[in-house]
Amino acid sequence: MKLYSSPTSPYVRKVRMLLIETGLDDRVEQVAIATTPIAPDAAIAAANPLGKIPCLERPDGPAIFDSRVICRYLDSLHPGRKFYPRGPAEWTAATLEALADGMLDAAVIALYESRLRPAEAQFQPWVDAQILKITRSLDALETLWIAHLGGPLDAGGLATGVALGYLDFRYGALDWRATRPKLAAWHDGFAALDSYRATMPPA
């Protein structure tokens, strides 16, 4: 299998961590590309009409995307403990995963606004609204989700840990730990995983 990848993409990082955690890492070749909404890479646009990474090409079926679908697919390929539980826990894990990915969406969109748009076309209230989505979600993680995060690591926890790592990478000034000590302590444990350390974005 071939994974269109970038060392700075948090969505790709989720997939790479899952590959390591599930022992599937050596079944996937990573193809590094650089793509943005206004300068799409041709190979990724051909594989995924949305032009986004990650995208997984398989020898025995069409390419699959996005990161949640890829993670779910990879989780079906290994015999070990599943990141996508079945039964009532499935919906809890999936909702947490959606929350964490939503934080990433807001963070990536706000970054594109400041990096890709010319200064005169930027709209600060819109960026502020994206940051508000992130801070509300962080508060929910600290209060409503912390008990769940303390249980076995599932796809929701994986996405949460990666999203927090992305805030450290791109939004250090947000200082998300300052008012969220339980989440900070949980993330310290997550950040000790070999798979997290092996997928750190370049400084």
Ligand X SMILES: N[C@@H](CCC(=O)N[C@@H](CS)C(=O)NCC(=O)O)C(=O)O
Residues near ligand X (CB under 6 A): 9, 11, 35-37, 40, 51-54, 66-68, 101, 108
Q: Phi and psi for 190 in degrees, rounded to 5?
A: -60, -40
How big is the chain, counted in residues? 203
- Shortest CB 138 distance to ligand X, Å: 19
CB of 151 to ligand X, least distance (A): 23
Q: Residue 104 CB, nearest distance to ligand X (Å)?
A: 7
Q: Which residue is nearest to ligand X (CB)?
A: 66
Q: Which is nearer to ligand X, 33 or 174 (CB)?
A: 33
Report in angstroms how near the CB of residue 54 gets to ligand X at its nearest: 6
**CB-CB contact of 30 with 55 (8 Å):** no
Q: Residues 177, 183: contact at Cβ < 8 Å?
A: yes
Complete DSSP assignment for 174-191: G-TTTT-HHHHHHHHHHT
Cβ proximity to ligand X: between 49 and 61 the closer is: 49
Gap between the Cα atoms of 52 and 74, Å rounded: 18
- Among residues 160, 34, 144, the alpha carbon closest in space to that of 168 is found at 160
Residue number, 6 or 22, with CB nearest to ligand X:
6
Q: Containing H/E element for 159?
A: helix 155-170
Using the minimum distance from each CB to ligand X, give the nearer residue, 9 or 137.
9
Q: How far is the CB of 36 from ligand X (least distance, A)?
A: 6
Q: 8 or 122: whose CB is closer to ligand X?
A: 8
